[in-house]
Chains A and B, each alone.
Chain A
Amino acid sequence: MSANVSAREAFGIGIGRAVKSWRLLLLFYTFNFFLAAILSLPIATVFAGDVSRSLAGDTLLGGFSYRWYAEFVHANAPIFNSLLPQMILVFILYVLVETFFAGGFYSAFSIKKRTKPGEFITKGASSFFPLLAVTVIEAGILFLLYEGNLLWASVNGHASRNVPSVYAVFRAELWRYGIVIVLFMLVNLISDFIRAAVTLDNDDFWSKIERGVNFTVKHPLATLGVYLGCSLISLSIIGLALLINFNIHATSEGTILAEIGIGQIFILLRIFSKLIFYASEAVLYKEDQIEVIKVKAEMLE
């Protein structure tokens, strides 16, 4: 059985709806900007104090000084030592808020008209816990996959005789890594459509999960098409940013401003690709849901 809309159609509609939802893009961007600022500010402050009137700054403008870096990290050890716990806390906060957003996104992108802020918040709030549960389950499965991979490697791979290098292990066991990567993607893909089901369906939690899984199984090409299409966009954006940034030697005011601009455009594009992802999946799922309702109605008649 094929989906009512193809991956390409869903993708096209998704892009259109993501473009129209530029306010959501700004909302997401602001949120991302704010949390990144929380993480960056302590480092930026000590960094400015350290090099703004030092010749070390001149060196850093044109390149990098390992000597400066080693001493700077040592002198500001408390800040750097607390970076990881801070990041973990911010990551948790980030996941929670994006989970809240996800409900609103799926809801907003599943309909043609523009979502009102009230609806966005209501849907985000009502879907929050089911979505969080899905995310936790997904994370758990991915973790088990990851650990299982390591366990397998330690038993059969890394522990084998004369393993020359991790790189060689990687090459020699590419098939295993390939399987793990594909499984990772599938778990992520299915979880996405469960998320759509959790937001857009009205049944109980477990039925929604079943709906999401069934939907993916029923529409393998369409769901995979949307997933890979969006992934391709994300990777292209990252590749493009790498390429442009690689060629910038930011030593003057102009080039530094250009690098700043490229950085923010890159982030905006990544958020945009994320919204396309939400939108395309929501469109795909919603169209199928409408079809299901129609079939049910016809059957009742």
Chain B
Amino acid sequence: MTAARHKASAPGIVLTLVFFCVNSAAFSQTPVTRSVAYVIDVSLNPRLHTIEGTEMLTWHNTSDQSVSSLEFHMYTNAFRSNRTTLLSETGGSISRQGRGWIDIIGMTDLRTEQNLTERSEYIQPDDQNPYDSTVLAVKLSEPVGPRDSIELGIRFREQLPEAISGTGWAPGEEYYFVSHWFPKIGVYQNGAWDCHQFSASSDFFSAFGNYDVKISVPVRYIVGATGARSGDEMNSEGMMTYRYVADSVQDFVWTASPDFSMRSRSFKYPGLPKTRVILLLQPQHVAQTEEYFEAIGHAIEYFGLKYGPYQYPDITIVDPPWNMGPGRTSAANEYPFANVYPALITAHTDLYELGHSLNAEEAIICGFGSQYWEETIAGKDTAGQWLGRGLSAYSAGESLEHAYGPKVSVYKFAGAYPVYAYPVWEVAGFPVAALIGKVWIYQPYGCLPLYLRYANSDAMAVEGYNASYGDNADLACGKPTLVMATLEGVLGKGVMERVLRTYYQQFRFRHPTLQDFQKVCQEVSGRNLDWFFNQLVRGTGTVDFSVESISYYRKTDLNSGASTFVTKVVVRRRGEVKMPVGLRLALEDGGAVDTVWNGENREQVFRFETIAAPYSAEVDPFQKIPLDVNYSNNSLTVDENLLPVLKWVNRVFVYFQNILLNIGAAV
């Protein structure tokens, strides 16, 4: 997960929802002692947009070394000035009123009662930027021995920023989305702290931990948070305190607003545990309650039956106010919640996609996919994280199609084909929306424009992949999704489902690597897939197979007089990736001959002898390789067919004629 990702929503995908959640106690898990446990008590001051809190941290040293210093993430300090590492990298700018920071007021080693405040200093392990204070190092007077624990008492004060990078308060609204907010200890592994500064490519790598958090807000506020509410009490000063408990989660976020309308429903499907869903809706969206519940119900059932039960008993869906737009919304997939999109854009969809928009459903189901592959399983390395993205988008697409049919982008105006109407410019690069009515999009193909833009970038497994190329959201939805869809093409749908189920069962609450996933794929399918992962995940090559030529002649048997057609097809591997690909010779009589090319050579000649005349040759006829960057050259017909050209050129032409008539003087 990257910081920059918070700022963007995938083009064409719109919605409103933040998901988060989680559990009081994860399902199917024997009680596990996590390496970290937090007991936090925090109070919100809406007038100043501040919070003050105390934190009791228990950290277990699971390594074999003594640890003499601790490192903490102080993420909110990324918004302390415009010169922090995050804002320098992203070019972001925050007004003085919108800035945010966190200060430690006191820190005590409860073993020795020693004050550690004076023994702490901000460090910049990644870029030595003196203006960045997102990592705090604390020197201990007494080391934590192997398998030993330390308890710290921390008091902190925090100024929440105006909504940015998935945290803060919404301008003009009484709405708080509070993430990355508390002093959070890094992960100690391999003899060192894995505690990086908050940068554009931050992955927020965290250990799974147990949280017990009390949140005090003005009494009229409604609160939602990671975990399950386990109690509430009225305070004397018009404040209400809510207690949330969450086990085995990577992080803890909460939201508060007096405007929320809360709905709750439990879902129980045969063979699956009960899951309670809490909706925190904007009042004007209450009428959509059933649609939201229906979507999340579909997801719980589909994922549960296909990959395994959802691991937590609760899930909360948050509908943020309309002006929490991209770049400032609460969105992050580390926590058990999904993407946030601004309500305004949802409405925009309503204008042009009357009655056909599935954007809310898509956001909910994609968010649920993130719960599975990015929250319950937390990829350890870059490749592992991108794998999570791919799995989320791929499985969410499958679920969405299963529940609602193929995704439809409906480009209609006033409910009719807008062939001769005004252009709708939202479709990138070309006013195609005005030319066609419906576009049925196989889910992974929705990522094609993004993938094509970065097809020649570094390999997904390379550390800099997410930081170096454009908008991370583009990359997140691009290649990883198509790689998963291509893997399904290689393994087959049934095997792919077994792979994902096995992977989920084996690695929930763990930090797997790409190698782990490959191992599962190989074990389940019984095939060596080095060629696949080395080329498509660890490599930079592109896939492009083409039919270069097709020619034939008629052969007549002099004895019997029977004639056959001998067809020569030349296929070419234009991309760098070598992989097996199907080849189909379609015949004039409707028949076809199929074969497989191993894709090793640059060019290969195939000869077919058939009774019927050939019609066309096509590589990858069943479109099992969505990563192929050029669909047009996958096939070649014997004869030229100008009808489709005539049809679409006419539409383009009339479209322009009509536009011109609209702009002239008079009328």
Residues of A within 8 A of B (CB): 32-33, 35-37, 39-40, 43-44, 47-48, 50-58, 60-61, 63-75, 77, 80-81, 83, 87, 90-91, 94-95, 98-99, 102, 131, 135, 158-159, 161-170, 192, 195, 230-231, 234, 238, 241-242, 245-246, 250-253, 256, 259-260, 263-264, 266-267, 270-271, 273-274, 277-278, 281
CB pair B347–A98 under 8 Å, yes or no, is: no
CB pair B649–A36 under 8 Å, yes or no, is: no
CB neighbours of B644 from chain A (8 A): 51-52, 57-58, 60-61
CB neighbours of A33 from chain B (8 A): 657
* Contact among B284, B418, B430 with A162 in the assembled complex (CB-CB below 8 Å): B284
CB neighbours of B666 from chain A (8 A): 98, 102, 192, 195, 274, 277-278, 281
Given known A-B contacts A65-B631, A80-B430, A159-B172, A230 and B667 have beta carbons under 8 A apart: yes
CB pair A67–B448 under 8 Å, yes or no, is: yes
B650 within 8 A of A: yes
CB neighbours of A242 from chain B (8 A): 416-421
Interface string of B404-424 (1 = CB under 8 A from A): 000001000000111111000
CB pair A165–B346 under 8 Å, yes or no, is: yes
Residues of B within 8 A of A (CB): 172-173, 259, 282-285, 321-323, 343-344, 346-348, 350-351, 409, 416-421, 428-430, 432, 436, 438-442, 445-446, 448-449, 452-453, 586, 616, 618, 623, 626, 629-637, 639-654, 656-661, 663-667
CB neighbours of A37 from chain B (8 A): 653
Given known A-B contacts A83-B430, A162-B259, A53 and B631 have beta carbons under 8 A apart: no
* Contact among B586, B626, B658 with A270 in the assembled complex (CB-CB below 8 Å): B658
CB neighbours of A98 from chain B (8 A): 664-666
CB pair A47–B432 under 8 Å, yes or no, is: no
* Contact among A44, A60, A253, A274 with B661 in the assembled complex (CB-CB below 8 Å): A274
CB pair A250–B647 under 8 Å, yes or no, is: yes
Distance from A173 Cβ to chain B, minimum over Cβ atoms (Å): 13
CB pair B665–A135 under 8 Å, yes or no, is: yes
Could you pull out 10 A-B pairs where Cβ atoms are within 8 angstroms?
Answer: A35-B656, A57-B644, A70-B452, A71-B629, A73-B430, A131-B665, A162-B321, A165-B344, A242-B418, A260-B650
Distance from B619 Cβ to chain A, minimum over Cβ atoms (Å): 11
The answer for the CA separation of A266 and B420 in the assembled complex, in Å, is 9
CB pair A163–B439 under 8 Å, yes or no, is: no
* CB nearest to B646 among chain A residues: A256
CB pair B284–A170 under 8 Å, yes or no, is: no
CB neighbours of A64 from chain B (8 A): 436, 438-440
* CB nearest to A83 among chain B residues: B430
CB neighbours of A164 from chain B (8 A): 282, 284-285, 322, 343, 347
CB neighbours of B641 from chain A (8 A): 52-53, 57-58, 61
* Contact among A53, A74, A131 with B640 in the assembled complex (CB-CB below 8 Å): A53
CB pair A169–B347 under 8 Å, yes or no, is: yes
CB neighbours of B440 from chain A (8 A): 63-64, 66
Chain B CB within 10 A, most for which of A39, A70, A273: A70
CB pair B640–A52 under 8 Å, yes or no, is: yes
CB pair B420–A55 under 8 Å, yes or no, is: no
CB pair A267–B654 under 8 Å, yes or no, is: yes
The answer for the CA separation of A163 and B637 in the assembled complex, in Å, is 53
CB neighbours of B660 from chain A (8 A): 32, 35-36, 90-91, 94
The answer for the CA separation of A241 and B428 in the assembled complex, in Å, is 26
* Contact among A57, A66, A95, A230 with B663 in the assembled complex (CB-CB below 8 Å): A95
* CB nearest to A242 among chain B residues: B416
